[in-house]
């Protein structure tokens, strides 16, 4: 029993140690609300290895939270929040096409533009 617990703990520690330190740095920046700084860390890593699942997840998460920071900012008027939020949600889908949250938010914003009779930003 103790042996299994020790192996399990050791395995978890090895997985944590194997995590990309740049991703951990970016996640700390995301938590602090420093989305542009997090993206500046993650973008070059993603470009160098676009199939890295850990980086892709972190990059999609950074874009999603950055988009939410515009979308749900009550101090911003609609004209100032929808376009940047839409750009960020589209960036999520570019990295993680199956992200339902980002897809739903894209649809919501596009419908808002349609209801306002305005062109949807590209």
Q: State both tokens at 21.
A: 């330190």
Class of domain 20-116: mainly alpha
Predicted pLDDT of residue 6: 39
| CA dihedral (109, 93, 101, 84) positive or negative | negative
- Intervals of the chain under pLDDT 70: 1-18
Q: What is the pLDDT of residues 33-63, one digit of tens each?
A: 999 999 999 999 999 999 999 999 999 999 9
Pair 71, 105: CB distance under 8 Å: yes
Q: What was the pLDDT predicted at 53?
A: 95
Nearest in space to 42 (alpha carbons), one of 69, 21, 16: 21
Domain extents in the chain:
20-116
Listed residue (122, 68, 113) closest to 92, CA to CA: 68
Distances (CA, A) of 19 to 16, 40, 72, 117: 5, 18, 31, 47
């Amino acid at each position: 029993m103790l042996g299994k617990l020790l192996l399990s703990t050791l395995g978890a520690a090895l997985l944590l140690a194997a995590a990309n330190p740049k991703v951990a740095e970016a996640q700390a920046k995301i938590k602090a609300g420093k989305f542009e700084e997090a993206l500046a860390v993650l973008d070059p890593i993603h470009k160098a290895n676009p199939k890295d699942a850990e980086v892709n997840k972190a990059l999609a998460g950074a874009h999603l939270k950055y988009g939410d920071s515009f979308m749900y900012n009550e101090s911003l008027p609609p004209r100032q929040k929808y376009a940047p939020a839409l750009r960020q949600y589209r960036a999520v889908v570019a990295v993680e096409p199956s992200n339902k949250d980002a897809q739903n938010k894209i649809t919501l914003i596009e419908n808002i533009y349609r209801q306002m009779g305005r062109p949807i930003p590209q």
